[in-house]
């Protein structure tokens, strides 16, 4: 609804009955599309992938560009620039807001923020609502609304035009599906491996043991004595995880540890492969999350570039395009655009940067002040002109 609808009272969100929304269908979608808590999502590798994606995309500038016939320029005077790069809402840094939104997308496949506008329609604030506190509802008309609940239990209803809804890859065009749900087979395996590892730790890694004896039990007391001995040994071995004291065997018993089967001996390798699958689901290079083996300086450099090009690049594009549609009108999008500045992530070491900028400044490709700005230095007086190498002469007229 627009401003006129609110002024003349034609908008009545409070009288829309909840029964008119398919809440049951939405809950079913939550279970189907993986909006439940994954066991694999609690893994340190999964958390590191989410932190890497959310914190890195939030740390780079989200630039507002204005296009014109002469190219495009950064528009720092636009109200969106302050909201996206300085203060998202009262007292909330833009970094914290953008990090929370990206984390929700990586964790749940969806992220929602309330758009606060001025009387003129300009965006003056963005308020993040955690996805666990949001219930999307589909109305009989086919439109969607969002029922949000604050920390005090108070509910509000937001229309689709009042929110920014960022989705990961979807099956229906609306409901985002998180990366771990798309890789459900691998995450199920990782969850089972985690449960098995926890069980082994709880039992203190006590191996399976068989007891042998040459003594024979008579029929009258054999069954009773054997059952009592078995119960005592079982209880004693169970306590070895917390009370590892020596076990005194009687009646000629001999302990014989059973060798672990080959599949248990390869459990560590199998678990590492499962954790690597989690990193692959998020598109994060293995060495970045500490899973790479025999990594050299050259391979680490290439994987850092791959992180920016094949992981952070698509994630940034996913966020900026959906924000652009929600925050800018169709007419504004012909003149304005939002784009993450990932150029800082593509830089090499300091020596390589100095060498590249020096060649560009003397190219002539960059001015002296543009080269100084690349490293964050103040401009130099008279440094806005291009340097022309001595072996390059200015063109003369009349040349064909």
**Angle in degrees, 0-180, between the axes of helices 313-327 and 94-108, rounded to the nearest 10:** 110
One domain for residues 162 and 44:
yes
Cα 83 to Cα 62: distance, rounded to the nearest angstrom: 10
Rg (C-alpha) for the chain, rounded Å, is 31
One domain for residues 218 and 79:
no
One domain for residues 194 and 216:
no
One domain for residues 235 and 372:
no
What pLDDT score does 371 carry? 80
Q: What residues does 135 pair with on adjacent strands?
A: 147
One domain for residues 385 and 312:
no
Query: Which single residue is written with the structure tokens 């008279």?
Result: 382
Which among 330, 346, 362 is the end of a domain?
346
Q: How many domains does the chain have?
A: 3
One domain for residues 213 and 357:
no
Tell me which DSSP letter residue 376 carries: T
Q: Is 43 helix (H, G, I), strand (E, B) or coil?
A: coil
What pLDDT score does 258 carry? 61
Range of the domain at 41: 1-202+260-346
One domain for residues 147 and 42:
yes
Which among 193, 224, 253 is the end of a domain?
253
What pLDDT score does 110 carry? 95
Q: What residues does 170 pair with on adjacent strands?
A: 176
One domain for residues 168 and 249:
no
One domain for residues 109 and 12:
yes
One domain for residues 352 and 338:
no
One domain for residues 238 and 110:
no
What pLDDT score does 1 carry? 43
One domain for residues 185 and 75:
yes
What pLDDT score does 190 carry? 76
Q: State how beta strands 92-93 and 87-89 pair.
A: antiparallel
Note the pTM of the prediction, 2 decimals: 0.71
Cα 395 to Cα 99: distance, rounded to the nearest angstrom: 51
CB 255 within 8 A of CB 249: yes
CB 181 within 8 A of CB 33: yes
What pLDDT score does 219 carry? 60
Predicted confidence pLDDT, tens digits, the chain (400 residues): 444 444 444 444 433 333 344 444 444 444 444 433 445 555 788 889 999 999 999 999 999 999 988 788 999 999 999 999 999 999 999 999 999 999 999 999 999 999 999 988 889 999 999 999 999 988 888 788 999 998 888 999 999 889 999 999 998 888 899 998 888 887 777 777 777 776 666 665 666 667 677 766 666 555 666 676 677 667 766 666 566 565 556 656 676 766 665 556 566 677 777 888 888 889 898 888 877 666 665 666 777 778 888 899 999 999 999 999 999 999 999 999 999 998 877 766 677 777 777 777 866 678 888 888 777 788 888 778 777 666 666 655 544 4
Which among 253, 268, 287 is the end of a domain?
253
């Amino acid at each position: 609804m627009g401003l006129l609808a609110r002024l003349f009272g034609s908008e009545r969100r409070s009288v829309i009955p909840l029964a008119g929304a398919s809440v049951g269908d939405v809950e079913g979608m939550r279970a189907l599309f993986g909006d439940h808590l994954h066991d694999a999502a609690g893994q340190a590798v999964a958390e590191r992938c989410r932190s890497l994606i959310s914190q890195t995309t939030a740390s780079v500038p989200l630039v507002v560009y204005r296009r014109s016939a002469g190219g495009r320029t950064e528009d720092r005077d636009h109200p969106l620039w302050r909201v996206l790069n300085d203060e998202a809402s009262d007292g909330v840094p833009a970094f914290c807001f953008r990090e929370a939104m990206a984390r929700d997308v990586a964790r749940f496949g969806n992220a929602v923020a309330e758009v606060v506008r001025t009387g003129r329609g300009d965006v003056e604030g963005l308020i993040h609502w955690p996805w666990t506190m949001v219930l999307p509802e589909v109305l009989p008309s086919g439109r969607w609304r969002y029922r949000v609940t604050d920390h005090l239990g108070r509910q509000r209803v937001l229309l689709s035009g009042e929110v920014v809804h960022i989705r990961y890859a979807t099956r229906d065009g609306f409901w985002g599906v998180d990366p771990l749900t798309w890789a459900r087979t691998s995450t199920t395996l990782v969850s089972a491996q985690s449960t098995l590892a926890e069980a082994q730790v709880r039992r203190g890694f006590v191996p399976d043991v068989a007891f042998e004896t040459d003594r024979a039990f008579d029929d009258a007391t054999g069954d009773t004595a054997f059952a009592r001995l078995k119960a005592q040994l079982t209880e004693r071995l169970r306590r070895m995880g917390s009370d590892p004291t020596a076990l005194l065997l009687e009646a000629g018993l001999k302990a014989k540890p059973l060798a672990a089967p080959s599949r248990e001996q390869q459990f560590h390798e199998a678990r590492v492969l499962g954790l690597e699958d989690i990193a692959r689901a998020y598109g994060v290079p293995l060495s970045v999350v500490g899973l790479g083996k025999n990594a050299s300086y050259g391979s680490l450099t290439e994987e850092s570039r791959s992180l920016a090009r094949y992981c952070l690049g698509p994630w940034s594009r996913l966020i900026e395009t959906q924000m652009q549609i929600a925050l800018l009108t169709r007419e504004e999008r012909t003149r304005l655009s939002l784009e993450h500045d990932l150029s800082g992530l593509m830089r090499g070491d300091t020596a390589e940067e100095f060498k590249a900028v020096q060649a560009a400044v003397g190219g002539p490709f960059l001015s002296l002040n543009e080269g100084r700005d690349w490293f964050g230095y103040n401009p130099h007086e008279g440094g806005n002109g291009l340097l022309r190498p001595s072996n390059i002469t200015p063109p003369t007229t009349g040349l064909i």
